């Protein structure tokens, strides 16, 4: 079964969030199940062709794509996802993709991803490669179902092609002026209030995908339910309810080779559920590096995140000083909105002996903090799946989360009276509820034996792609039938 996986970020080439981890690992797992996977990705200027062993396809060059009144050409490069035989095609158009980062606020953001989508289909045509499935991801590829249905339906190559749109975050909808329809080469007939392309008078790529894809997936069972409600649907709950029977919630897996405390190359000591002591050596190491005084009875709380409203920073800020009166160290790694970056910088200035922040994006440090911390804080207002809590569980780092989206599917609240629970969770999006939950975790932390049991429950759980990739495989197969 030929499957094209269209994505705008993919680890290890380019990453801003969880989509990159999924794109770098799910296709590998599906390939093992027997799919012939091909990943398509823009060649951003941050992706180094030589370092990544990419080579340009010499047979087809300077392929033209018209976006509105402009025509630009592209070449495509080929590479292989590390430790696999999954081919990745990189769409190379410097005009659109040399911007220093994947996503921008530039005026032609719509054109950039219209170009990408058309270029992917043009590449398949040049290669005479007929996909049974095109798995689109997020708004940047939301027009593909329309293209397959309307603009490319003349081509036998796509005669049997079915489309799937995977929604990784309903908050990003690709909203543009209605005039973008012309640039996209799509029919205005489908642009009317509440219609396929219209959302609050704008043209939404995501809505177009939700409307026209043959099937929809999202990244956890709970989020699949949530996005059909007004509270979480971000205006798209109506169309999602309409497509309810075609919407599947499949929990993301994690790359258990990369995120494996036994083999992790970024941590100074490796450990496992059977030999968990080395974890404390890493904690000591990082605490010393941070310049704090080490006390083994004081837990480290880690926080690694894009600094956006979604991640619940507004629940932390109002109780931050109370939080800092508790016997904890905090290590925060993040980048994003200025107000949150400034907040963590001020926090570090105020609590030099127990709070340390790293503003920026740092993959190595994210592994180190995940391993060193005793607890991981993730108070998201909404969380489609969330990967960090799964990484933390695997590293014996007990998550403290708000019970929403995929966090609710993966973190089970500890309760002293039953032998269950791999973390601590709370429902109300209230700062003092967060504070109380941290206190509850600290209280249990004093009971070393009990704490270890909680850690081990997390470390022994299976978050690999094995089960979830099979679910993707099954829906691909049903769709093709």
As a whole number of angstroms, the distance between CA 82 and CA 383 comes to: 28
Strands 329-336 vs 355-359: parallel, antiparallel or unpaired: parallel
Give the number of residues in contact with ligand ADP, rule: CB under 6 A: 17
- Mark residue 40 as left, alpha or beta (left: phi above 0; alpha: psi -120 to 50; beta: remaining): beta
Measured from the CB atom, is 251 or 442 closer to ligand ADP?
251
- Binding pattern for the stretch 147-186 against ligand ADP, x by CB under 6 A and - elsewhere: ----------------------------------------
Beta carbon of residue 481, minimum distance to ligand ADP (angstroms, whole number): 31
Closest CA to 375 of 315, 430, 455: 455
Query: How many Cβ atoms sit within 10 Å of the Cβ of residue 298?
Result: 18
Q: Which is nearer to ligand ADP, 67 or 304 (CB)?
A: 304
Q: Which among 40, 54, 30 has a CA at the least distance from the CA of 8?
A: 40
**Which of 161, 388 has the CB closer to ligand ADP?**
388
Q: How far is the CB of 113 from ligand ADP (least distance, A)?
A: 18
User: Alpha-carbon torsion 272, 276, 281, 285, what sign?
Assistant: positive
CB 111, CB 68: distance < 8 Å: yes
Say whether residue 332 binds ligand ADP (CB under 6 A). Answer: no
**For ligand ADP, which is the closer residue by CB, 9 or 111?**
9
**Closer CB to ligand ADP, 85 or 342, in the complex:** 342
130 scored as a contact of ligand ADP (CB under 6 A):
no
What is the end-to-end Cα distance of the chain in Å, rounded? 11
User: What's the min distance (Å) between Cβ of 35 and ligand ADP?
Assistant: 23
Please report whether residue 306 would count as binding ligand ADP according to CB under 6 A. yes
Evaluate the omega torsion of the peptide bond into residue 251 and state whether it is cis, within 30 degrees of 0: no
Q: Does 18 interact with ligand ADP (rule: CB under 6 A)? A: yes
Q: Kindly tell me which of 388 and 464 has the beta carbon lying closer to ligand ADP.
A: 388
Interface stretch with ligand ADP, choices 50-58, 74-82, 286-294, 330-338 (CB under 6 A) = 330-338
CA 369/CA 346 separation, integer angstroms: 20
Which residues are CB-neighbours of 230 under 8 A, at least 6 positions away? 237
Min CB(214)–ligand ADP separation in Å: 25
Query: Which residues ranging from 373 to 392 are in contact with ligand ADP (CB under 6 A)?
Result: 385-388
CB nearer to ligand ADP: pick between 345 and 474: 345
Q: Cβ of residue 462: shortest distance to ligand ADP, in angstroms? A: 18
| Burial zone of 114 (CB within 10 Å; 0-12 exposed, 13-18 middle, 19+ buried) | buried
Q: Is 138 in the site for ligand ADP (CB under 6 A)?
A: no
Shortest gap between Cβ of 244 and ligand ADP (angstroms)?
24
Rounded Cα distance, 253 and 259, in Å? 11
Backbone angles phi, psi at 197, to 5 degrees: -105, -5
Which DSSP string do the residues of 237-287 spell out, in sequence order?
Answer: HHHHHHTGGGEEE------TTTS-TTT-TTSSS---SS-THHHHHHHHHHH
Question: Which range in 29-37, 53-61, 181-189, 304-312 contacts ligand ADP by CB under 6 A?
Answer: 304-312
Rg (CA), the chain: 23
Distance CA 224, CA 247 (A): 7
Q: Which residue is nearest to ligand ADP (CB)?
A: 18
What is the H or E stretch that residue 357 is in? Answer: strand 355-359
**Which has the closest alpha carbon to 5: 452, 223, 352, 25?**
25
CB of 246 closer than 8 Å to CB of 214: yes
**CB nearer to ligand ADP: pick between 57 and 335:** 335
Q: Residue 362 Cβ, how far from ligand ADP at the closest point, in Å?
A: 5
Query: What's the min distance (Å) between Cβ of 66 and ligand ADP?
Result: 33
Residues between 62 and 91 with contacts to ligand ADP, criterion CB under 6 A: none
> Of 100-108, 221-229, 327-335, 464-472, which segment contacts ligand ADP by CB under 6 A?
327-335
Smallest distance, ligand ADP to C-beta of residue 475, A: 21
Please name the residues in contact with 392: beta carbons below 8 A apart, sequence gap of 6 or more: 302, 370, 373, 376, 398, 399, 458
Q: Are 91 and 97 in contact (CB under 8 A)?
A: yes
Restricted to residues 183-212, the positions that interact with ligand ADP (CB under 6 A) are none
Site string for ligand ADP, 333-372 (x = CB under 6 A): xxx-------------------------xxx--x------
Which of 218, 305, 392, 422 binds ligand ADP (CB under 6 A)? It is 305
How near is the Cβ of 161 to ligand ADP at its closest, in Å? 28
- State the residues that interact with ligand ADP by CB under 6 A: 17-18, 21, 304-306, 333-335, 361-363, 366, 385-388
């Amino acid at each position: 079964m030929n499957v094209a996986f269209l994505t705008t970020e993919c680890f290890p080439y380019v990453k801003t969030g969880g989509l990159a981890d999924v794109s770098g690992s799910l296709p590998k797992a599906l390939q093992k199940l027997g799919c012939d996977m091909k990943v398509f990705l823009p060649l951003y200027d941050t992706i180094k062709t030589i370092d990544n062993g990419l080579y340009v396809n010499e047979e087809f060059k300077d392929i033209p794509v018209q976006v509105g009144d402009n025509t630009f050409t592209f070449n495509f490069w080929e590479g292989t996802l590390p430790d696999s035989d999954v081919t990745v095609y990189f769409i190379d158009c410097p005009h659109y993709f040399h911007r220093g980062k994947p996503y921008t606020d530039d005026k032609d953001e719509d054109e950039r991803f219209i170009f990408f989508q058309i270029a992917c289909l043009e590449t398949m045509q040049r290669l005479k490669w007929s996909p049974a499935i095109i798995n689109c991801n997020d708004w940047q590829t939301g027009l593909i179902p329309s293209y397959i249905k309307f603009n490319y339906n003349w081509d036998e190559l796509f005669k049997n092609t079915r489309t799937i749109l995977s929604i990784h975050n309903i908050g990003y909808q690709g909203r543009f002026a209605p005039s973008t329809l012309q640039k996209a080469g799509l029919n205005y007939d489908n642009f009317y209030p509440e219609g396929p392309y219209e959302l609050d008078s704008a043209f939404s790529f995501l809505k177009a995908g939700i409307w026209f894809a043959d099937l929809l997936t999202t990244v956890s069972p709970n989020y699949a339910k949530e996005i059909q409600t007004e509270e979480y649907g971000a205006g798209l709950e109506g169309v999602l309810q309409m497509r309810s029977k075609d919407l599947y919630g499949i929990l993301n897996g994690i790359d258990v080779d990369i995120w494996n405390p036994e083999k992790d190359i970024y941590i100074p000591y490796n450990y496992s559920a059977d030999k968990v002591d080395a974890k404390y050596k890493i904690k000591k190491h990082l605490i010393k590096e941070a310049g704090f005084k080490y006390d083994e009875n004081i837990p480290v709380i880690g926080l690694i995140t894009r600094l956006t409203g979604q991640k619940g920073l507004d629940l932390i800020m109002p109780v931050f000083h109370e939080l800092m009166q508790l016997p904890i160290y905090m290590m925060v790694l993040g980048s994003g909105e200025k107000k949150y970056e400034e907040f963590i910088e001020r926090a570090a200035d105020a609590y030099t002996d127990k709070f340390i922040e790293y503003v920026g994006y740092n993959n190595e440090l994210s592994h180190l903090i995940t391993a060193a911390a005793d607890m991981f804080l993730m108070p998201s207002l909404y969380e489609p799946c969330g990967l960090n809590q799964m990484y933390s569980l695997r590293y014996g780092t007990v998550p403290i989360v708000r019970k929403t989206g995929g966090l609710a599917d993966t973190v089970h609240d500890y309760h002293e009276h039953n032998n269950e629970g791999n973390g601590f969770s709370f429902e109300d999006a209230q700062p003092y509820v967060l504070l109380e939950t941290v206190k509850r975790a600290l209280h249990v932390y004093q009971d070393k034996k009990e704490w270890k049991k909680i850690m081990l429950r997390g470390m022994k759980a299976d978050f690999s792609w094995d089960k979830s990739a099979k679910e993707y495989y099954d829906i691909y197969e049903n769709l093709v039938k």
